[in-house]
Amino acid sequence: MSKKIGFIGLGIMGKPMSKNLLKAGYSLVVYDLINDAVNEVVGAGAEKGTSCKDVANRCEIIITMLPNSPHVREALFGKDGIIEGAEPGSIFIDMSSIDPMVSKDIYVKLKDKKIEMLDAPVSGGEPKAIDGTLSIMVGGPEKVFNEVKEILSKMGSSVVLVGNIGSGNVTKLANQIIVALNIAAMSEAFVLATKAGVNPEKVFDAIKGGLAGSTVLNAKAPMVLNRNFKPGFRIELHIKDLMNAMDTAHQIGVPLQLTGQVLEMMQALKVDGKGKNDHSGLVQYFEKLADREVRK
């Protein structure tokens, strides 16, 4: 536990993840563009970094948790970036959800500098980030994975090496497709039940123990029924993930018809000013078409 960890990106997910590392006894240097987020984590016991370069210069392991591919590139290769401060032999762990092809490109560039890399995106949203039970899907060399598995296990209850670099983000894209389609199916079904005059809460109680039951249903149905669209995971971020899935699929020749349809539904909600809602707010797309609201 002697290695110092740098953590860059203290948003909805990164802040609780970094706090869990502190609770586990690790020494952290943190950085974010939002000073309030930095100060909160520093208040929990972290040291304050002044830039990505400064964090990398002070730490042997550097973790990023950022919105998308351009932000990760900027943190690495921009002005005062990680690449300027990291020593050979450092380990870079990108826990952001980004394009797998970008992960591979970054890996090659870092290897030239003798910096190791893993891509390790997560699933579970804010609640699981807070209680340290995220699912972490990892791509990269097994030797590097074994060096940091204990650290990752302080943020997630499931930490799985799925393959070479980029595999973590491919797995995350698969995850996001399944989650999006589950939410769409749930939304369509609940709107149908509501307009047919059947209590959607009773429908949820009746089906959750059967084949239609799922982690997604258990997490998102209560939010819909309570009209609680406060984000654990925003629609606009799910759009980003599905766009990355579509881009990757087009590059390798895989049609994603259902994913494309749900992506356009989410885009319509974003245009309607609902992009910052939780992705359970997808139900509002179907509600508008059917002129009926799902609630308890």
Query: Total domain count for the chain?
Result: 2
User: Residue 249: enclosing H or E segment and its boundaries?
Assistant: helix 235-252
172 catalytically annotated: yes
- Per-residue model confidence (pLDDT) at position 3: 80
Q: Which residues contact 174 (CB under 8 A, 6 or more apart)?
A: none
Burial call 15-52: b when 16+ CB within 10 Å, e when fewer: bbbbbbbbeeebbbbbbbeeeebbebbbeeebbebebb
Residues 81, 49 share a domain: yes
* Residue 283: both structure tokens together: 């139900």
Write down the catalytic residue from 15, 53, 128, 172. 172
59 part of a folded domain? yes
Residues 96, 45 share a domain: yes
**Which three-class secondary structure state does DSSP give residue 107?**
helix
Residues 83, 195 share a domain: no
Residues 179, 147 share a domain: no
Range of the domain at 145: 5-164
Q: What are 91's strand-pairing partners? A: 61, 116
Q: What CA–CA distance (Å, rounded) separates 25 from 27? A: 7
Per the document, the length of the chain is 296
Query: Which of 143, 164, 185 represents a domain boundary (last residue)?
Result: 164
Task: Report the CATH number that the domain containing residue 136 is assigned in CATH.
Answer: 3.40.50.720
Task: Report the CATH number that the domain containing residue 284 is assigned in CATH.
Answer: 1.10.1040.10
Residues 97, 12: contact at Cβ < 8 Å? Answer: no
- Per-residue model confidence (pLDDT) at position 2: 59
Q: What CA–CA distance (Å, rounded) separates 229 from 218? A: 15
Per-residue pLDDT of the chain (296 residues; tens, 9 = 90+): 458 999 999 999 999 999 999 999 999 999 999 999 999 999 999 999 999 999 999 999 999 999 999 999 999 999 999 999 999 999 999 999 999 999 999 999 999 999 999 999 999 888 899 999 999 999 999 999 999 999 999 999 999 999 999 999 999 999 999 999 999 999 999 999 999 999 999 999 999 999 999 999 999 999 999 999 999 889 999 999 999 999 999 999 999 999 999 999 999 999 999 999 999 999 999 999 999 999 99
Tokens 């039940």 belong to: 193
Residues 146, 105 share a domain: yes
Please write down the HEC assignment for all residues of 155-189.
CEEEEEEEECCCHHHHHHHHHHHHHHHHHHHHHHH
- Per-residue model confidence (pLDDT) at position 128: 93
* pTM of this structure: 0.92
